[in-house]
Chain A
Amino acid sequence: MNALTVTDLTATYGPVRALDGVSFEVAPGCVTAVLGANGAGKTTLLRTLSGLVRPIAGTAHLGGTDLLRTPAEEMTRTGLAHVPEGRGVIAELTVRENLRLGALGAPRGRRGRFDLPRIYELFPVLGERRDQVAHTLSGGERQMLVIGRALLAEPEILLLDEPSLGLAPRVVAQIFALVRDLVDTDGLTVLLAEQNARSALSIADRGLVLGLGRVVADEPAADLADDVRLRDAYLGN
């Protein structure tokens, strides 16, 4: 059974179609990269799936649950965690408080794959800075914080929106490697929206390329790296 099934998803901002008949499937336990230039619809796709944007047409199901009928604040209890564009650190709260918030969103009676000690183990720097106010963290540390926070909600699927933005390549590689590990060891499903196609494809199983709101390519990641459609989607053709 597929983890995520999306059919004909269409969302508009006024007269502009940010998403235009997007259909794809995400198999459980793997990383699907969503690629495309600025404005291609990557962020809108994630925001529509997590309930912040209401589409005008289409369906989206996570397992048996109709995502489009689920309000945003119920998403974590349904098993979907969305790390938004810009990271979404709550800057005025401490690291510990941010993490606690994540844990509060976990559905009841969930098996404890991810608990606080595990998060501190995965991201030691968070443990070091646990009582610091979040706005004192560096970009990379913040990214780790929001991933850790999302994991504490015990998600089935993790939506990551442009995690590499503003981060040094070394940090990006570190974080991506960690995400890949989680997928391999815990069977997590990840939908990764990225402008940085190369890094994303390096850990992805599958690649979905968007252009002007439409699906331009939907291929295994290995095949996509040299695909001309990918280049065109970024350079505009």
Chain B
Amino acid sequence: MQQLLTTTLSGITLGFVYAAFALALVMIWRSTRIVNFAQAPMAMLTTYVALTVIDAGYSYWIGFAAALVAGFVLGAAVEWLVVRRVDSTVEINPVILTLGLFIVFHSVAALVFGSQFRSFPAPFGVRGFEVGDTTIALTGFGVFTILAVLAVLGLLLLLFRFTDVGLRMRASAFNAEVSRLLGVRVGRMLSLGWALAALVGSLSGLLIAGGGLVHPSYMDPVVVYGFVAAVLGGLDSPMGAVAGGLLLGLCLSFVSGYLGSELVAMAALLVLVAVLLVRPGGLFASTVQRRV
């Protein structure tokens, strides 16, 4: 019983982090029809930025903010400098582009920050809460994780639904040419989309790092899990990304707890294959056909 509770709680916490990463992937997919495989090392880099700031003596929160800002800037820069110039009519090209960026960001991190394992602080503590005699598997940091992701989700929802900028971004993603004719600066909106997505990715990077170890490869499995979560929810659906993240987090937590942590990646693969073969549009596929 104890283990069931532990597994579930850690699954939920982990699920929220995967949800954030999946959301970053979905945001970029919706706006530019690209799966940003480089999102993982991008988030890793911004976490290193936070680490550098913290090492320099500033508080965790300054480092946190620095990472988010760095993510925003990095996302915009990547879109503006590189993604915009790729010939996406060949389906393979953007994929190879993000893979190239994956490799580049990895080695940049190793060159600049070194490959050794570094520990990363976690605010609000990593001890489980005490309830009577027992310690439940929910930590202060875990609660923070859930709240942070929910806050970001809420803010994004407000942005997209209720602001003019959000409307312009959605229009640019749905129909770039018509949006241009309506006076929308589509290029800027796409950069903004990438910037926000990268910011969300940075958040997930910070949340995964908290209380654990940081090294250039630490985010790599997350790109797989995030992708699976995004596909699970339907690549076009932000809400689906969140739901997919939670589902996957729970599922993987159970696999890890009861079968073995080495099998987690295989479980993710099987989930992915199952979804893609049975319901390729994702569990929460939207019914509107996108104009290609």
Contacts and interface: CB of A to CB of B under 8 A. Distances in A.
Interface of A: 50-52, 72-77, 81-82, 84, 88-93, 97, 100-102, 104-106, 133, 135, 149, 153
A149 B167 CA distance: 14
Nearest to B177: A52
B183 A75 contact: yes
A92 B288 contact: yes
Interface string B250-292: 0000000000000000000000000000000000000010110
Contacts of B167: 93, 97, 100-101, 104
Given A52-B177, A84-B177, A84-B178, A90 B171 contact: yes
A101 B291 contact: no
Contact of A153 (B178, B183, B185): B183
A100 B162 CA distance: 11
A51 B183 CA distance: 11
Contacts, number: 72
Given A91-B291, A92-B170, A135-B288, A76 B183 contact: yes
A91 B174 contact: yes
The main secondary structure of chain B at its interface with chain A is: helix
B182 A149 contact: yes
19 contacts: A73-B183, A73-B184, A81-B181, A88-B177, A90-B174, A91-B288, A91-B291, A92-B170, A92-B290, A93-B171, A100-B164, A101-B171, A101-B182, A102-B182, A104-B167, A104-B182, A104-B184, A149-B182, A153-B183
A84 B95 CA distance: 32
A82 B164 contact: no
User: Which interface class (under 10, 10 to 19, 20 to 34, 35 or more) fits B?
Assistant: 20 to 34
B168 interface: yes
A15 B290 CA distance: 33
B267 to A, nearest CB: 34
Contacts of B184: 73, 101, 104-105
Nearest to B236: A92
B180 interface: yes
A62 to B, nearest CB: 15
Nearest to A76: B183
B186 interface: yes
A81 B291 CA distance: 22
